[in-house]
Structure formats: C-alpha cells, structure tokens
Amino acid sequence: MSIPTYPRPVKEWRIGPRTLLLGRRTLLMGIVNLTPDSFSDGGQFPTTQAAIDHALRLLDEGAEILDLGAESTRPGATLDLGAEDEQQRLAPVLEGILRARPDCVLSVDTFRASTARFAVERGALIVNDVSGFTWDPAMAQTLATLSCSAVLMHTRGLPSEWKSQKRLGPTEVMPAVMDGLASILSRANEAKIAPERIVLDPGFGFGKRGEENLTLLSHFSELHALGQPLLAGLSRKGFLAPHLAPQERLPETISANTVAILAGAHILRVHDVAAARQAADLADSLLSQGVAF
C-alpha cells in the first residue's frame, strides 16, 4: 500500500510583532511542565531554576518555541487549581527564561482567559488553549484584544469525563474533529481573531480514546481542508504504547511524529526535542523530495 506524503502548505503565522514561516521546516514546540501531576513529567522540575534550566536546554536542543504549562490537563484532571495559583507557578519561570533568552518565542498552555492575558502581558507570544474556547467563555474575546497568536485545540468534554465518554466509531472520528475545529474557527472569526494568528491542533488524546487517535493520525492530512497551519501533539501519549510508561515511549513518539510530518504537520509539540529534531529533519528532507511510501 502506498501512503502519499502531503505537500505541506507554507503559511505565515503572525505572533505579535513577529512572523514565523511555517511549512518550509517542521518547527518544534518544547514542553515545559510546571506541574506536580502532569502525565509524563509531573514534578520533575520542582524549582523555578530547574524549570528554567530545562527550558533553556530544550532551546539549545533545537526547539523554536517553548510551551509553558502550569496546570495539568491529563486524563482525569479536575482543573481546580485556580487562576492565581496557575499564574504564581508560571510567572517566575516565564520571566526567568526571557531574562536569559529575550528573543525566545514563548507559548502559555492555558484554558483560562485571565492567565492568557497575564502571560502575554509578561512576554508570551502564543496562547495554547487546549479547550478551543470551550472551558472559559471569555477566552475568544480576550485573545481578540491581545496581540498574541493562538493554538486552538479540538477537545471533547472535560478530562474527568474522558474515560467514561462514549467511544467514537472509525467513521465518526474525523467528522467530529473536523466539525469541532470548524466551530472553533467560526468563534474566532466572530471574535475578529485574524486567521493568520491561528494554528489548529486536532487534540490527540483529548476526548479521544485508544484507536480513535490512530484513526485521527491516519487521516491527519484531511485537516488541511480547514485552511490553517496544523500542530500535532503526540509526544509520549498513552495510545502509542499503553503497556509502557510515558518516558519509555520515545520510539513510538518518533514514529507517530514522522507520520504527522509526512501528512503535513507544521509544528510538533514534544518532550524530547533533540530526538524529535533529528527525525523531523529527515522527514522534512523526504517531503522536499516528494517521496511517497
């Protein structure tokens, strides 16, 4: 069976006063979790300096963007941290990274409008809303008033509901994701958020169970019909190898990331930047040759 590569569209992504060119080369968004309970690396960076050092290491390994998350949205999470505590975790790390690397492109992983504003006012250029406007009704209008860009993810329900949600059949996955992302774009348009500020994320693992994620990955190229740049967040996800601990899923992550790149992903959100950079460079070379398998 031949699996064709997708000719990745080249897009300009406006992030505040800057523009990132997407599509010529896969960009890596390095994950910096500031939480004690994230599914993969919760509690590994317990001090501000440890988190800053980790972030700077990811930049040195090849990350073009850092994504700072101060509240876990793992399956089963209750999302009860509170905005003030979220911001207290976030501020010293964000400020410390920018002191060390003033030109760094920082993203804040939050579904709260107040935290999005807090982070952007302190130098973040991207808001990564994993709820796609659904967990805080103020988010769309808040983003419209800020100069940042946005990653908007498709999510079904809340983390506390994911394990008990009705499963999607193989033919239901893509319509659910496509319709959900189209609805997100419609809300962004209503709020007057310019399309050139938006990247879409189909939300692997966010309200999709087991093989539903494999269906989504195998049909990833269909998402280009929405006309926006695409981000894939596959790193260490449970569906890749349920029998392994998250930190043991690097080979499966690299394989899935490569599939996503060849299907046209512009950005990968990853824990293991150095390995992801090597694999992405090879996949980019294959794309440039128009290789099909």
In a domain, 1, yes or no: no
In a domain, 248, yes or no: yes
pLDDT at residue 2, as a whole number: 46
In a domain, 5, yes or no: no
User: Which of 132-141, 156-165, 207-216, 250-259 has the lowest average pLDDT?
Assistant: 156-165
In a domain, 2, yes or no: no
Catalytic residue check, 269? yes
> How far apart are the two ends of the chain, measured CA to CA in Å?
8
8-state DSSP, 179: H
The C-alpha atoms of residue 203 and residue 228 are separated, in whole angstroms, by: 15
| Residue for token pair 């500031």 | 34
pLDDT at residue 5, as a whole number: 67
From 117, 249, 269, 277, active-site residue: 269
- Kindly tell me the burial class for residue 127, based on how many C-beta atoms sit within 10 Å of its own C-beta (0-12, 13-18, 19 or more): buried
Domain with residue 37: its CATH number is 3.20.20.20
> Which position has the higher pLDDT, 22 or 85?
22
Number of structural domains found in the chain: 1
Q: Report the amino acid identity of residue 109.
A: D
Q: Residues 10-49: pLDDT tens digits?
A: 999 999 889 999 999 999 999 999 877 554 555 577 789 9
pLDDT at residue 41, as a whole number: 54
In a domain, 292, yes or no: no
The C-alpha atoms of residue 73 and residue 79 are separated, in whole angstroms, by: 7
Total Cβ atoms within 10 A of residue 25:
15
Mean predicted confidence (pLDDT) in 56-82: 85
Range of the domain at 171: 11-284
Residue 70 has pLDDT above 80, yes or no: yes
In a domain, 290, yes or no: no
Catalytic residue check, 166? no
Cβ contacts of residue 217 below 8 Å, gap of 6+? 204, 234, 256, 259, 260, 263
Residue 75 has pLDDT above 80, yes or no: no
Mean predicted confidence (pLDDT) in 84-91: 92
Q: Residues 259-277: pLDDT tens digits?
A: 999 999 999 999 999 999 9
In a domain, 169, yes or no: yes
From 11, 112, 197, 237, active-site residue: 237
pLDDT at residue 244, as a whole number: 96
In a domain, 293, yes or no: no
pLDDT at residue 7, as a whole number: 78
pLDDT at residue 286, as a whole number: 87
